[in-house]
Structure 1
Amino acid sequence: MKKVPDILSVFGDRVRELRQAKGLSQEGFATACGLDRTYISGIERGKRNVSLRNMKLIAHSLGVKLSTLVEGL
């Protein structure tokens, strides 16, 4: 049976990729989102189950639509 990737890890990888593409550090990105750097780190490591409100903050700070951020998850 094929193992299905964990949705939290997939989401975290996408956030990391988009953040790095913008040239943002975790700390700078966290500040832009109004969130703590350790929270962003937890998201990117797939350890945080992100609320819809925070997903919207993240998408806005990355300059993408929320639908783009979660597409294909």
Structure 2
Amino acid sequence: METKIRQFRQEKGITQQELADLVGVTRQTINALENARYNPSLLLAYNITKILGKPAIEDVFIFDE
């Protein structure tokens, strides 16, 4: 699943590790998400969206149809 995590994270000026700490996962998980190698749980997607300050999960995660 493609995401805009890297873009929004960099806009907020936070590192992968800082985002990982805020949502309770490892830095490697954030890296895997940014590189489309991991599909998050709905709760993780929601938490990342909230931390990045976006109103909807669809703003951060690009769902394939």
Q: The TM-score by the shorter chain falls in which range?
A: 0.7 to 0.9
Q: Is 1:16 aligned with 2:12?
A: no
Which residue, out of 16, 38, 49, partners 1:26? 16
TM, length-normalised to structure 1: 0.74
Give how far 1:69 is off: 2.2
For residues 1-73 of structure 1, what are the structure 2 equivalents within 5 Å?
A: 8=1, 10-11=2-3, 14-65=4-55, 66-70=57-61
- Radius of gyration: which is bigger? 1
The unaligned stretches of length 5 or more in structure 1 are 1-7
- Return the alpha-carbon distance in structure 1 between the equivalents of residues 60 and 35 of structure 2: 16
Q: Which has the higher strand share?
A: 2
Residue 27 of structure 2 aligns with an amino acid whose one-letter code is R
The unaligned stretches of length 5 or more in structure 2 are none
Q: 4+ runs of 1 displaced by more than 4 Å?
A: none
Task: Give me the identity figure in percent.
Answer: 27
TM, length-normalised to structure 2: 0.82
Please provide the CA RMSD for this pair. Answer: 1.7
